[in-house]
Structure formats: structure tokens, C-alpha cells
Amino acid sequence: MRHRFRGMSGMQGPCWQTARFRIDLSRPRVMGIVNLTPDSFSDGGRLTTVAAALSHCERLIREGADILDLGAESTRPGSPPLPEAEERTRLLPVLRETLRLGVPVSVDSYKPAVMRAALDLGADIVNDVWALRQPGALEVVAAHGSCGVCLMHMHGEPVTMQAAPMTGDAVPQVAAFLADRVATLRGSGVDAARIVVDPGIGFGKTVEQNFALLARQPELRAAGQPLLVGWSRKSSLGAVTGLAVADRLVPSVAAALLAVERGARVLRVHDVAATVAALRVHAATISQASDAAFTAS
């Protein structure tokens, strides 16, 4: 088993503590999306067997994914909730296999029983679009002691969120929500190093609000935690480019890079290879910028 993160002793900068790995966030990390769903908005119905899912995960890792995010229920606007038993049936057999791949594995679920089952199997991270607001969810994460958690902002719920999106300036509202959720978790004994936050692009927000969250992303630092963002193939990118979901690679990579420029530390993406290539360009630029600064001083 390869361990990309464990054993990185002397890690000084930002990091994300997860069940098996302490992820160094001094450089941006790529979280590869693995949708085990029949109905996800951009890639549903592709990974219908454990073998297909596993081979997709292996491909994402070859392309440079630092983290895998397994989701069994679509949260696209209008999607109905999935029964818990069905979510477990889709998720757990794939999780069991992917935990052998040597990278942190995140589970995209808001149901406490599914989170508990995934953590019992050894999942590293809970990625919750409800930010642990479902009854019992916070207790599951707090009781675990070391898993990582991503707290995402969502206005309303998937079934109705786009029918009645947020009103007013989304940025301070999202920042306050995330800061409040972080404080609640900290108050329940969850160590700050375990927590990242996410503005929830597309979750009950207008196109303008989503882009305000990108333009003014540094204001979200008020939550005091590393930022994860998920722009990949989202409809706001379609709204400003006119491109169909299958053609949103370039806008997705552009948004990811803009987010990194504004401080994002984890990018949740479908297209890992292209995102990793863009990040290499970013890293090469950053290294020259700091060299220049060093030479000048």
C-alpha cells in the first residue's frame, strides 16, 4: 500500500487530519469524484459494478488524485432522497475495495447510519453536504475521534433548493454559516485539524451568488479552516459559457484555478488529469514568484 501523506513528519503548514492520513495542504489537493449513482447530473449510471468503480478509482489515482470521494446518492437539484439501505448497498462494497488503494477515501453522505458504517469500514473522511445538521450526524463524527470532515453550505435541500435560492449577499451568509458549524463541531470536541469547509457551489444559490463566492472567496476564511470547493461541471459554468454539461472541462479547470488563486486547498473534480496539469502550471508560477520575492529582498 502506498502512503502519500503518512509519515510526512515536520509538517508545519495547513493540513487535514483524516482517519489514516494527515494530508499536507501546503499545496492544493485534488479530490476525484466517484459517483456510484444512476442519476448524477454529469456522470450518473457509469459505475454500476464494483469492478467498474474500482477501475475508475485506479484511473483517478493514476491521473494524480490525492483523495477519492465516493457518493451513492445524487444531490443534483430536484433529486429525491435515497433510502439508506440502497445507499449502503451501492457504497460499502466499493468503499471496502478502494480503502486498499493507498489514498484517503471520503464518503459523500449526510445520513448518520451510512457515515457510521463507512467509518467502521475505515473511511477517512465524511463529506457532508448538510454540514452534519441531520440528527445524529455530528455525534457520529465526534465519536470517531480522528476522521476528517468536510462541512458544506447548502441553502434549503436538494429537492427544492433551486426553486427558492438564497436571497441577498450570499458571501457573508455562507461565511457565517460555516463559522457557526465549525464552532459547533469544535464545541463537541472535534479537533480543528479535522475540519475543512466548503461554500457549496450550486446548492441553493443563483449564478451571480456562486460567482460572488468565487470572486470574494477570501472572505470565507473567516471560518478559519481550509477551503474545499466543487465547481466541476456545475450549471453556473454552463450559464456563463453556454456549454452543455459534457463540454464543461475548460470552464471547470478555469474555475478550479481561480479558486486556488483565492486560497482553496482542496478541489473536488471529475476531470482529475486536466486539473492536475493546470495545478502544475500554477505551482511552477508560484515557485518563480517566491524566488523573485526572495531575490528582491
CB of 22 to ligand HH2, least distance (A): 20
Question: In a 3-state reduction of DSSP, which class is residue 147?
Answer: coil
201, 223, 253, 264: which one contacts ligand HH2 (CB under 6 A)? Answer: 201
CB 151 within 8 A of CB 198: yes
Q: Which is nearer to ligand HH2, 54 or 201 (CB)?
A: 201
CB 146 within 8 A of CB 193: no
CB of 108 to ligand HH2, least distance (A): 5
* CA pair distance 104, 147, nearest whole angstrom: 10
Q: Which is nearer to ligand HH2, 8 or 39 (CB)?
A: 39
Considering only residues 265 to 284 of the shown chain, the ones binding ligand HH2 according to CB under 6 A are 268
Is residue 275 within a helix (H) or strand (E), and if so which, with residue range? helix 272-296
268 is catalytic: yes
234 is catalytic: yes
* Backbone region of residue 64 per phi and psi (left: phi > 0; alpha: psi in -120 to 50; beta: other values): left
- Number of residues assigned to the chain: 297
CB of 107 to ligand HH2, least distance (A): 11
Q: Which is nearer to ligand HH2, 119 or 228 (CB)?
A: 228
Q: Which of 120, 47, 37, 131 is nearest to 82 (CA)?
A: 37
| Nearest residue relative to ligand HH2 (C-beta) | 230
Cell triple for 7: 509519515
- Give the distance from CA 147 to its chain's centroid: 15
17, 35, 210, 252: which one contacts ligand HH2 (CB under 6 A)? Answer: 35
Question: Among 22, 181, 194, 268, which one carries the catalytic annotation?
Answer: 268
Q: Which residues bind ligand HH2 (CB under 6 A)?
A: 33, 35, 37, 40-42, 71, 74-76, 108, 127, 129, 150, 152, 198, 200-201, 228, 230, 268
- Catalytic residue positions? 234, 268
